[in-house]
Amino acid sequence: MTTLVTPIRQPLTLNRDSLAAGFFVLLGAIDIVVFGVFAHAGHATFQLSLSGSGIQIPNVKVPAALVCYVVGGLSVVIGFWRGIAEPSPRLKRYAIGAVITFFLAALLCWADAGNETAVNLISLIQQSFTASIPLVFGALAGCMCERSGVINIAIEGQLLVGAFTGAIMASAIGSLWIGLISSSIAAGLLGLLLAVFAITFLVDQIILGVVLNVLALGLTGFLYDRLMVPNANLNAGNSFSAVKVPLLGHIPIIGPIFFDSTIFLYIAYVLIIVIQIGLFSTRWGLRVRAVGEHPTAADTLGLRVLWIRYRNVVLGGMVAGIGGAFLTIGSVGFFNKGISSGFGFIALAAMIFGRWTPLGSVAAALLFGVADSLAIVLSSLNVPIPSNFLLMTPYLATIVAVVGIVGKVRAPAADGKPYVKA
Amino acid sequence: MSDQLTPAAPEAAKPDADTGGKPRLRLTGQMIIQEIVEGGPVVITILAVFLALVISALLIVFSDPNVIHAWGDFFSAPGNAISMTWHSIATAYSALFEGSIFSPATIGAAFHGGSIAAIFYPLSLTAFEATPLILTGLSVAIAFRAGLFNIGASGQFVGGACVAAWIGFAVHLPVVIHIVACVLGALVGGAILGWIVGELKARTGAHEVIITIMLNYVMYNLLNFLLSSTNFLQQPGQSNQIAPPIQQNATFPHVGGPPPQANVGFLVALAAVAGVAWLLSRSTIGFQFRTVGANPRAARSAGMSVERSWALVMLISGGLAGLAASTIIQGGGPPPPLNPNTYGTYGFDGITVALLGRARPVGVLLAGLLFGALQAGGTVMQAATTPQVPVDIVEVIQGLIVLFVAAPPLIRAIFRLRAARGAGLEAVAKGWNG
């Protein structure tokens, strides 16, 4: 099969390492030349505690241009090191993280230089986390499905169904927890539908995902107009409030970022760890990955391929359902038509960008979340970068990733191919 | 169309082809029976539509508070519960039919001095709604035939819409030339976006589905950006994201009547169907597309450039999606001038249209008309029913139809049909890795 996708025309065969190095150097150069040189004279101010929190940390003032020069220089150095030395995969990942963080730091310094208003870093990071929660759940759901060899484009639909069920059940029964559990079950049922048609009826999984999305959009839209609009008490708008973890939540900086959020962030922590360890360090994960890479071999060894796929697709749907519930009972409370507004597709992008691994997907989801909250912060600072361009970056980054300019991503080998026992 | 949809037909007709008219007729009858018994594609499609309507009817009934209430009193008044149920379904579906195809009341009205045109009004609405669906459906279908899945019709639609809207309001041209310029602009806008996808796929092997999904959102953000600055597409003096209305010179002339009735855009769509049909079945390029779609390796062995076909078919596919946008922008309403909602669901609806039409031009035309009818009738139904049956039910029906069409074994199991030889949706089943 690989011969089908290996094109004859292939001018982009540049060495991946040198491309990555070049990309790092380019980002460093932007830090220096664009942000450093064009920064307004003066300092950038960063606030490190939320207003109204117990312990207040004094604002940090840094010379904007200088910071841009320093981080830009560091990025260039890392770029050259990446090109010359042959670092281990772990170091490569740290290098990417560092260069991107430096880039964001330079961007913020440039944006806030000489500005009276301080940028509240804590709230920026908090918002990024919040923005990335649905993406994290969606991407984890994608990992669960696709590692077992079933493509899930229906994440968007699963989020939507989860969001709807969460809102209506929480309002009808009056318990947010029942809302949460039923969203998970409802999205799991959509996952079951995906599984039945993909695994049993061998329908093309990409087509199926698209159709299920249409169905979910229509169904939730129909029920919204039919049930929620005439009865406002079915869309009451209750939502989980933030829970501060005892002790940990009171630590300055770390507390408000990691330990002062709704239950969804804590569920996400647990699921990230469970799915990452589960997929890569347990017998269950080995089996799932075997089924996703080479189902025939797995079958020969006595694994029940179809059963493992069914289980994973349904579990994946249930994970996505929690992410969907976050959109209603985890944040705004109310359901609205098409409330998932593309989160499912960004989650898909995050999963691909994160190379089909839970941790990678989460990192990508966070990055996309940062882009989202940066767009808000920068527009409040009247920065001449249109927020739409920032919002575009996740998608462009994913295109760059699949096209293979910065290291090509590869899906599980049997992803999307129905398994028929010979 | 029937010869494309029924693979068994040509073989069955062959032996008796030279024995005259009568046996042939008998055979046709046999073929129909065979088709029904075996559950061939046509029958599967009809059953899928039927099943989708049944499930949607259940959905309508079980979400109707009056009906639920009546069933609550089932033991005291069983007749009431059943008649309420029937009433709920009948009102909705008859409004759906009358709003999209034909309303008996208009005939009576015509006899009593009403207008004859009113009889055709529902059909004209259907044609209006079907126009963009046929074009985006063709866009997805032609890519399908070359083995590519174009989920990016939405983005290409936006690309075409931006160019068409800009030419429509910012450039001053004489009447016919302005219309043509807008149409061509939309074509080019969509085609460029499609070509980018094809070229990236050809050069790097990246999966077109991922690229097109991402480009959809890139285009969505770009549209938002362009609409928030009066330097680009925003109407001066507007705080909303909306473009100025296009000039009268650039608006399509009516065919059926004033909007929301069919306009010249429908004729454009019909011409596109004919053009794509010719391209696919009569031209060298079309032959290459179909070969590449059926078996890229064989196509390559035969000396065809698979990559060139990918780039070219995406160029055409994108152009068709752009054309769909021009029929909305130049339709003269009811959709308002270009705004973020113009993005709409046309692109994704195109996928369902192409799937239902089995990626055949004529099939796409029929599927587009069916979904257009559902859309037109759905709007009428929403207004005619109490409690309202929301027009969103149309999307549920569409989704269900395509879901069932995609899984013929399910339909056969439900209706106890024998398995047909080689029937079913010709899906391009392949994973992310090609």
Confirm if A140 and A271 have CB atoms less than 8 A apart.
Answer: yes
Residue A56: DSSP 8-state: P
Alpha-carbon distance of B120 to B102, in angstroms, equals 7
| Mean of all residue pLDDT scores within chain A | 87
Q: Is A87 on the interface with B (CB under 8 A)?
A: no
Cβ A349–B214 below 8 Å, yes or no?
Answer: yes
Q: Which of B210, B307, B399 faces A8 most closely, judged by CB atoms?
A: B307
Which chain A residues are Cβ-neighbours of B398 within 8 angstroms?
Answer: 214, 218
Report the 10 Å Cβ neighbour count for B380. Answer: 19
Of residues A219 and A16, more confidently modeled: A219
| Residue B220 C-alpha, separation from nearest chain A C-alpha, in angstroms | 9
What 3-state DSSP class applies to B253? coil
Confirm if A183 and A169 have CB atoms less than 8 A apart.
Answer: yes
Q: pLDDT tens across B316-364, in order?
A: 999 999 999 999 999 877 778 888 887 678 888 999 999 999 899 999 9
Cβ A214–B402 below 8 Å, yes or no?
Answer: yes
Confirm if A421 and A291 have CB atoms less than 8 A apart.
Answer: no
Residue A118, class by beta-carbon neighbours within 10 Å (0-12 exposed, 13-18 middle, 19+ buried)?
middle
Which chain A residues are Cβ-neighbours of B307 within 8 angstroms?
Answer: 7-9
Cβ B433–A208 below 8 Å, yes or no?
Answer: no
Q: pLDDT tens across A161-199, in order?
A: 999 999 999 999 999 999 999 999 999 999 999 999 999
Confirm if A233 and B374 have CB atoms less than 8 A apart.
Answer: no
Cβ A207–B63 below 8 Å, yes or no?
Answer: no
Confirm if B100 and B125 have CB atoms less than 8 A apart.
Answer: yes
Cβ B431–A214 below 8 Å, yes or no?
Answer: no
Please give the residue range of the domain that contains residue B245.
123-386
Alpha-carbon distance of A10 to B205, in angstroms, equals 9
Which residues sit opposite B263 in a β-bridge?
A: B254
Alpha-carbon distance of A221 to B381, in angstroms, equals 16
> For residue A402, what is the nearest residue in chain B, using CA coordinates?
B206
| pLDDT on residue A308 | 95
| Residue A125 C-alpha, separation from nearest chain B C-alpha, in angstroms | 23
Confirm if B431 and A260 have CB atoms less than 8 A apart.
Answer: no
* Banded model confidence at residue B375, pLDDT cuts 50, 70, 90: very high
Q: Which of B224, B396, B407 faces A218 most closely, judged by CB atoms?
A: B396
Which residues sit opposite B402 in a β-bridge?
A: none
pLDDT score of B175 more than 60: yes
Point out the least confidently predicted range of A391-395, B114-118, B194-198. B114-118
Which CATH number belongs to the domain containing residue B131 in this structure? 1.10.3470
Q: Is B80 inside any structural domain?
A: no
> For residue B406, what is the nearest residue in chain A, using CA coordinates?
A203
Which chain A residues are Cβ-neighbours of B305 within 8 angstroms?
Answer: 8
Report the 10 Å Cβ neighbour count for B376. Answer: 26
Q: pLDDT tens across B378-433, in order?
A: 999 999 888 889 999 999 999 999 999 988 888 888 888 876 554 444 444 566 76
Confirm if B34 and B41 have CB atoms less than 8 A apart.
Answer: no
Residues 6+ apart with CB under 8 A from A338: A160, A217, A221
Scan residues 328-367 of A and list those with Cβ closer than 8 Å to B: 337, 342, 345-346, 348-349, 352
Of residues A170 and B256, more confidently modeled: A170
Mean pLDDT value of segment B264-283 = 95
| pLDDT on residue A37 | 82
How far apart, in Å, are the Cα atoms of B106 and each of A101, B98, B102?
68, 10, 8
Residue A395, class by beta-carbon neighbours within 10 Å (0-12 exposed, 13-18 middle, 19+ buried)?
buried
Q: Which of B296, B297, B355 faces A207 most closely, judged by CB atoms?
A: B355
Query: Considering only CA atoms, which of B170, B327, B142, B356 is closest in space to residue B245?
Result: B170
Cβ A4–B297 below 8 Å, yes or no?
Answer: yes
Strands lying side by side in the sheet with A43-47: A60-63, A43-47, A119-120
Question: Among the CATH numbers 1.10.3470, 2.60.40, 1.10.287, 2.40.50, which is that of A124-403?
Answer: 1.10.3470
Query: Considering only CA atoms, which of B343, B315, B345 is closest in space to residue B329?
Result: B343
Chosen for mutation from A146, A217, A355, A399 (greatest number of chain B CBs closer than 10 Å) is A399
Which chain A residues are Cβ-neighbours of B410 within 8 angstroms?
Answer: 197, 201
Of residues B372 and A35, more confidently modeled: B372
> For residue A199, what is the nearest residue in chain B, using CA coordinates?
B407
Q: Is B34 inside any structural domain?
A: no
Q: Is B304 inside any structural domain?
A: yes
* Banded model confidence at residue A252, pLDDT cuts 50, 70, 90: confident
pLDDT score of A224 more than 70: yes
pLDDT > 90: what percent of chain B?
49
Mean pLDDT value of segment B114-143 = 91
Q: Is A233 on the interface with B (CB under 8 A)?
A: no
Of residues A402 and A302, more confidently modeled: A302
- The number of folded domains in chain B is 1
Alpha-carbon distance of B199 to B196, in angstroms, equals 5
Q: Which amino acid is at A143?
A: C
Q: Which of A11, A218, A418 faces B392 most closely, judged by CB atoms?
A: A218
Query: Considering only CA atoms, which of B427, B421, B429, B426 is closest in space to residue B7?
Result: B421
Alpha-carbon distance of A93 to A82, in angstroms, equals 11
| Residue B179 C-alpha, separation from nearest chain A C-alpha, in angstroms | 31
Alpha-carbon distance of B330 to A137, in angstroms, equals 42
Which chain A residues are Cβ-neighbours of B428 within 8 angstroms?
Answer: 204
Looking at mean pLDDT, say which of B237-251, B279-293, B342-356 comes out highest: B279-293
Confirm if B290 and B146 have CB atoms less than 8 A apart.
Answer: yes
Chosen for mutation from B213, B353, B389 (greatest number of chain A CBs closer than 10 Å) is B213
Alpha-carbon distance of A304 to A309, in angstroms, equals 9
Cβ A4–B431 below 8 Å, yes or no?
Answer: no
Q: Is B152 inside any structural domain?
A: yes
Alpha-carbon distance of A371 to B218, in angstroms, equals 14
Alpha-carbon distance of B50 to B397, in angstroms, equals 10
Chain centre to alpha carbon of residue A295: 28
| pLDDT on residue A15 | 63
Q: Is B93 inside any structural domain?
A: no
* Banded model confidence at residue B13, pLDDT cuts 50, 70, 90: very low
Q: Which of A146, A388, A398 faces B210 most closely, judged by CB atoms?
A: A398
How far apart, in Å, are the Cα atoms of A246 and each of A50, A56, A58, A132, A273?
18, 18, 24, 24, 21
Cβ A417–B213 below 8 Å, yes or no?
Answer: no
Residues 6+ apart with CB under 8 A from A93: none
Q: pLDDT tens across A102-150, in order?
A: 998 888 888 888 777 888 888 899 999 999 999 999 999 999 999 999 9
Cβ B228–A388 below 8 Å, yes or no?
Answer: yes
Chain centre to alpha carbon of residue B304: 31
| pLDDT on residue B16 | 41
Enumerate the domain spans of chain A.
Answer: 14-117, 124-403
| Residue A238 C-alpha, separation from nearest chain B C-alpha, in angstroms | 23
Cis peptide before B334 (omega within 30 of 0): yes
Q: pLDDT tens across B59-118, in order?
A: 999 888 888 888 888 888 888 888 888 998 999 999 999 989 888 888 888 888 777 888
Q: Which amino acid is at B160?
A: G
Angle at A95 between CA A89 and CA A100, to 5 degrees: 135
Q: What is the pTM of this model?
A: 0.88
Cβ B59–A207 below 8 Å, yes or no?
Answer: no
| Residue A399 C-alpha, separation from nearest chain B C-alpha, in angstroms | 6
Could you give phi then psi for residue A404, rounded to 5 degrees? 95, 20
Alpha-carbon distance of B137 to B153, in angstroms, equals 9
| pLDDT on residue B434 | 57
Query: Considering only CA atoms, which of A292, A56, A220, A211 is closest in space to residue B431?
Result: A292
Q: Which amino acid is at B94?
A: S
